[in-house]
Amino acid sequence: MPEEFLVARNLHKSFNGNNAVNGVSFSIHKGEVFGLLGPNGAGKTTTIRMLTTVLEPDRGDIEIGGHSVRQDAEGVRALIGVCPQELALYVELSAMDNLVFFGRMVGLNGKEAKAQAMSHLDLMGLADRAKGKVDKFSGGMKRRVNLAIALMGHPQFLFLDESTVGVDPQSRNNIYETIEGLRDEGMTILYTTHYMDEADRLCDRVAIMDEGVIIAMDTPHALKSQIGNPNQVTLEDVFLKLTGRTLRD
């Protein structure tokens, strides 16, 4: 039985009376890449904000690495790295300064932070631009800096919220390879994306959310099998079948 590293139980969150998340429960095994999929407004980002201690659930609880988000948010934060959907960078500073600062914020000393920053920038193919001002970077480069920051402190659990939005194929491929490398090293990852081929390629299991609830959860292969020959149907076919073709806000 694989060890459960993250357990979310009956999560609820509403804003001004609207249920954004309505009774979501799932668990993620240690070393697993778990995909959280869903159309816009499905509740993915709200779920992630609760998992990462930013939002407090109205009801339910979350445990990460044995620490309760409600009772020991500090303990949870010591285990996680977060790459948010929007770029969250100090663009007026250099890539190196950004990584070092966030490294210090996760508890590294100055020397460790610099060493890790250089190593992660190298991993992202940005070593030669380490001292460049982020403001001058392309969208893809900024995305890679965004991801590199999430790796500072070698977190045990990584949240990647639509990390490949708006990047060119080269940057996207670099991010894929990075995620695959992290998975091979045993890092547990929660991944959200609108690109179903990404989820199919990277995720061990996926949960599909719609209107604040999880409507399906299994391996990509098993989900595809539910609607046809898994070698002929795609995860996108499954997604559209489950969530419908109506346009979302």
Partner 1 sequence: MNAILVALLEIRAYLRDKGGLAFSLLLPIAIFALMYGAFGGQEQFHGTAYVVDEDQGGIYSARLIEQMDELDELDVELLSRSDADDRLEHSDLYLVLYIPQGFSDKLTTDEKLPLTFKQRSNGGQEGQIVASMVRGLAEEINQGLQVQNQVEDALAESGIGGEKVEITVQKFLDREREHPIVGIEEISVGSSPDPVNQFLPGIVTMFVLFSITLTARTLVEERKKGTLERLFTTRLSVGQLFAGKFLANVSRGFVQTLILFALAYAVFQKFTPLSFGSSLVIALVFAAAASALGLVIAAVVRTEDQATWIGVFFTMAMTMLGGTFFEISEGTMMETISRFSVNTYANEAFYTVIARGGTLADVGFEIAVVAGVAVVALIIARSLFKVAQEGK
Q: Which residues bind partner 1 (CB under 8 A)?
A: 15-16, 45-46, 49, 52-55, 74, 77-78, 80, 82, 84, 86-93, 97, 101-102, 104-107, 133, 149
Nearest alpha-carbon partner for 147 in 172, 115, 111: 172
* Least CB distance to partner 1 at residue 55 (A): 5
* Integer Cα distance of 34 and 191 in angstroms: 6
Find all residues with CB under 8 Å of 24, minimum gap 6, and list them.
Answer: 8, 10, 11, 43, 47, 60, 209, 212, 213, 214
Block residue for tokens 């890790």: 116
Label the pairing between strands 213-218 and 205-210.
Answer: antiparallel
**Diameter over CA atoms, the chain:** 54
Q: Which DSSP string corresponds to 97-160?
A: HHHHHHHHHTT--HHHHHHHHHHHHHHTT-GGGTTSBGGGS-HHHHHHHHHHHHTTT--SEEEE
Nearer of residues 105 and 215 to partner 1, judged by Cβ: 105
What letter represents residue 9's amino acid?
Answer: R
DSSP 59-79: EEEEEETTEETTT-HHHHHTT
